[in-house]
């Protein structure tokens, strides 16, 4: 279980995340929603040790996550995808997935650190990467450069790159943003299956999609938690409707172009 207590992230005078608490159980799909700028990505950055945590406590199965460096986090079971997928153009699709075995990506490619893995991990990893590519219907493009693929394919790859590490906790930052109508159901199936094996904390603006797959939704506004509960109770919460669902922000977010 991932336990987050009283976590605050400040950038100079701006408090992006404020005294935030969340528990993420071992298995299941848990969503994080809120208006643009609410602090959702910053929270995920804090959990993956990319954003500096000013105050608070983050523990995964008793391990003090705040004592880990960002490149160690994946080894302790926390992997993530990015709001804006970035791939290594000089590597193939298959190789880009294998990168997930070696590194915890930072905010972008420039921060990636290659770390040694054993031969056995590498072999198992290759088999898993190949099966991931088949599941995501990306097998035919495995030897291409991601730069030559549509953006939606790159988003799928980014999720696959996080999952290959077989994390305990998978953090997904708007995995569906930029996907086509054809790609979306494929990723829904895939995430739903993954959510039976590990914990998924997912930022997502498509509320109807969350109603389908998330067992709990946490709502954030101005860095703070304003509601948490089953999707039906969140939809009916007047405060959530006032600051998020009812404002038209959600529909704007859904039509937002991410690439
Ligand atoms: N590295 C940073 N330095 C300074 N300010 C930052 C940094 N990262 C985020 N912020 C600020 O923190 C606030 C929260 O941003 P964040 O990206 O976490 O929001 P979000 O909820 O993910 O929004 P969106 O839905 O648009 O992705 C914003 O005001 C943002 O400008
Ligand atoms: Mg964000």
Using alpha carbons, select from 35, 28, 103 the residue that is nearest to residue 70: 103
Q: Is the CB of 39 under 6 A from ligand 1?
A: yes
Q: Is the CB of 205 under 6 A from ligand 1?
A: no
Q: Is the CB of 111 under 6 A from ligand 1?
A: no
Give residue-wise pLDDT tens across range 122-143.
567 788 899 989 988 899 999 9
Ligand 1, atom 16, lies closest to the CA of 39
Q: Residue 239 has what pLDDT?
A: 92
User: How remote is the CA of residue 27 from the centroid of ligand 1, in Å?
Assistant: 28
Q: Residue 232 has what pLDDT?
A: 95
- The CA dihedral of 213, 246, 258, 82, to the nearest 10 degrees, is -50
Among 12, 42, 218, which is best to mutate for testing ligand 1, by the most ligand atoms less than 8 A from CB? 42
DSSP class of residue 67 equals: G
pLDDT band for position 258 (cuts 50, 70, 90): very low
Is residue 108 pLDDT above 80, yes or no? no
Q: Residue 238 has what pLDDT?
A: 93
Among 18, 38, 43, 207, which is best to mutate for testing ligand 1, by the most ligand atoms less than 8 A from CB? 38
Q: Is the CB of 199 under 6 A from ligand 1?
A: no
Give residue-wise pLDDT tens across range 197-229.
999 999 999 999 999 999 999 999 999 999 999
Instruction: Choose from 78-87, 121-130, 168-177, 186-195 the range with maximum mean pLDDT.
Output: 168-177
Q: Residue 116 has what pLDDT?
A: 45
Is residue 193 pLDDT above 70, yes or no? yes
Phi, psi of 17 (to 5 degrees): -130, 130
Q: Residue 113 has what pLDDT?
A: 42
d(CA 240, CA 139): 41
Ligand 1, atom 9, lies closest to the CA of 42
Q: Is the CB of 52 under 6 A from ligand 1?
A: no
Higher per-residue confidence, 75 vs 169: 169
pLDDT band for position 251 (cuts 50, 70, 90): very low
Looking at every residue in the chain, the average pLDDT score rounds to 87
Task: Decide: 56 and 62 in contact? Cβ < 8 Å.
Answer: no
Q: Catalogue all structural domains in the chain, each as residue range(s) with its CATH number.
A: 2-255 (3.40.50.300)
Q: Is the CB of 223 under 6 A from ligand 1?
A: no
Q: Residue 122 has what pLDDT?
A: 59
27-41, 95-109, 145-159, 208-222: lowest mean pLDDT where?
Answer: 95-109
Is residue 84 pLDDT above 60, yes or no? yes
């Amino acid at each position: 279980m991932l336990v987050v207590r009283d976590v605050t992230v400040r950038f100079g005078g701006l408090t992006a995340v404020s005294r935030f608490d969340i528990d993420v159980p071992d298995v299941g799909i848990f969503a994080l929603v809120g208006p643009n700028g609410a602090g959702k990505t910053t929270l995920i950055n804090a959990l993956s040790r990319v954003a500096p945590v000013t105050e608070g406590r983050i523990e995964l199965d008793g391990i003090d996550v705040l004592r880990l460096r960002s490149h160690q986090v994946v080894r302790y079971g926390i992997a993530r995808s990015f709001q804006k997928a970035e791939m290594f153009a000089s590597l193939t699709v298959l190789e880009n997935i294998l990168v997930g075995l070696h590194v915890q990506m930072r905010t972008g490619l420039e921060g990636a650190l290659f770390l040694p893995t054993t031969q056995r991990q590498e072999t198992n990893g290759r088999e898993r990467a190949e099966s991931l590519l088949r599941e995501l219907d990306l097998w035919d493009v495995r030897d291409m450069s991601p730069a030559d693929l549509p953006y939606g394919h790159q988003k799928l790859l980014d999720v696959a790159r996080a999952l290959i590490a077989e994390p305990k906790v998978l953090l997904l930052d708007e995995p569906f943003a930029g996907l086509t109508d054809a790609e979306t159901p494929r990723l829904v199936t895939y995430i739903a299956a993954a959510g039976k094996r590990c914990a998924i904390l997912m930022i997502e603006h498509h509320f109807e999609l969350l109603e389908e797959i998330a067992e709990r939704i946490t709502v954030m506004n101005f860095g703070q938690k304003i509601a948490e509960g089953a999707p039906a109770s969140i939809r009916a919460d007047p405060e959530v409707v006032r600051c998020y669902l009812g404002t038209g922000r959600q529909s704007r977010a859904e039509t937002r172009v991410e690439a």
